[in-house]
Structure 1
Amino acid sequence: MDGTAHAAPAAAPREGRRPRDLRADVFRGLALWFIFIDHIPDNWLGHATLRNAALCDATEVFVLLAGYAGGIAYGATLDRDGWLFAAAQVVRRVGSLYVAHIVLFVMFTAQVGYSAAALEGAIYIDELHLDAFGEQPYRALLEALLLRFQPAFLNILPLYVLLLLQFAVVLPLLRRPRLLLGLSLALYAATRLLGLELPTWTGGGWFFNPGAWQLLFVIGALIGYRPPGGAGAPLRLPWRRWAGWLAAAWLSLGFALLFLAWHRPDLGQAAPRWFVALLTEVDKTGLHPFRLISVLALTYLLAHAVPAGTPWLRGALARPFLLMGQQGLPVFCSGILFSFFGRLALEYNDRVIMQVAVNAAGLFCLASVAWLSGWYKQRERARRMQPEPIPPGRPA
């Protein structure tokens, strides 16, 4: 999200720090809402999310922006305090993500299991790949702790954990962007060409193959990192009209593929067979190059179309997404639980009123979680900054 040709600073830096890029927060919040929407079957609003308009979806946006934020935060720590301290900060973040994942696993399993038992004949257990937990609960808990048991919807945080652990190791290579990008590309190519994968307990590999998805994270980190001295990002994205046209053309091609294959299959039958067949090859597990190019093309256009100081980023309409993007972890975890409640509601009644109520309530609840989390962190930060009171009788 460089936007060097158009962007202006959002605010003056404080204490030498870079101003926060509100674009990243807003678009991350929007991606989290899309994830909530897409996790609800038969949600009409799901037809308006990114996955129906491009050969990528909110997951790619989430990972790219995670890398972008990591490049900003941990890159600055690397330059200020050195590799060891920066890596320690990354590992501490990994610990928070790991604990959040385990708590979410327990809560989601209890939520789905209770619902399946209460609604006789419900297929939630099999559909969400929790049947192994019912058959071997103790072994399933152990495998969940080892990140080798990943039911549906519980596979993004394990990916994030591994990406950050890898990032802690390669942090110094942010200063050598060509080498880091080359190594990342080599791992991506080897993963796809050789079929490398991490095994899971229930068979097969991880739904999100870390060997492939790390490339998107690394690209985001290189875009976000700024070397000392105020130099530009190692991976610069200056505006070029020809590049903008190429990005727009690529996204248009992706939309045409989706339109012919999903929205108007009757027209797709008249298109060349090879054209529509392309869509069947675009896998998400290994981050197919089409998906990678699509999210990068979208990022390129948005980074230049939306300057960093755009007023609407601080406006009322963007406010819920801004809060959600700034508190991504609690919002993501609560969104997984809320989306299942939304599914139950739409299975009971999927008419227009319920559709509107589910999506509006979901956005309100996610924004409320974000506000509460932000409010608590702000109060806790203010409390730590206050001087300790002097006990009576002790000289000041």
Structure 2
Amino acid sequence: MIASIPKNQVRKTYAKVKQYDIQAYDEDNLYPQRMDDILKASSTTFSCVRVYAKFIRGKGFKDTTFYKSVINDEGLTCDKLLRKLSEDFAEYQGFVILVNYNALYQISELYFGPFENYRLGLDETDHAGLIAEYFDWPRKIKNSIKKDDIKWYHPFNPDPVIIEKQVLAAGGWENYNGQIFYYSVDQNGYPLCSFDPVLESVLAEVDSDRTTRNNLKNNFSAKTVYIRKGKFEDEDERQEFLGNLKTFVGPDGSQIMMIETEGETGSGGEDIDAPEIKEIPSALNDKLFEYTDNKVMRKIMRNYLIPAILLSITDGGYFNQQQLQDATRYFNTITVDERILFEEVFRRLGQLFHTTINPSGDYSMMELDDFNLIEDGSANNA
């Protein structure tokens, strides 16, 4: 017998959106926006991404002068930029930095770009090899996307010859948008979100929370069928009765419902026109829900290799300082590659800046320690 492994669902389809000259980020071009909505609905995933981001940036750069250096006319500092980039990377596995130059072809300003706003230019168009920026791909603000509102950038290339050609093509420095440092763990295109490998588990947690909320709204009661004998005189009477019935159910429902009937009497003296309420037994199993929720939560945590203690999760009782230190030390080793990545990015950009923003030339980052973790509130005794 030949064993077969089911194929994973394809999350990311590179569709062509010729109307806007872009490569779609999934079939609907809304992969990052959709995943962000899912993230915010899953408490475990949200906590994991937050802790992951915090460990990525650690305690920041060792050189405090560089850490607090202002890098644009809006007052953005290196530490604030690092925080924003680490949060995007922890969620999307990618980040964007907008790079401006002066007339000496030196970097004059750096800006943070929300990763979900950027798309890659479509091959065989005038925007091939470029990067598109648009603030409302989901069309939440405007009903349509105007092609003229899409802003285009060249990818990062600090070569003065290249920059000069781009400036001339744009019609001068006043029309030049600068460049974009676009990073993706998938060097050939769009990255998958950090929780994509366990997306089914993340969705299961969201569904479980929704079920619990619905149970709360219905007082955790079994479903019931209300059978009213006779017909309503008109639709208005039907809707009025239904409205009154709805006020009886749910968490804010009344404890008493009065029903008045006057109809045909049966042989035993019972009112045969009296309404009936039949209960449909609930199939919910609290023990099974608890087991499933715990299983889903642990699977999401394993995706990030985060020790449970860093999410304030214990098997009962309290955890001590040594346990927290051990967990912090462990997760620092897990996230060392990410910190090295950001060291390299800031070194490359910092060395090209028009002023000396890092006199020491030290771009190394400091690991997080347990004291900072507690101070931030990411982990507390449960």
What range is the shorter-chain TM-score in? under 0.3
Larger fraction in strand: 2
TM-score between the two structures when normalised by the length of structure 1: 0.25
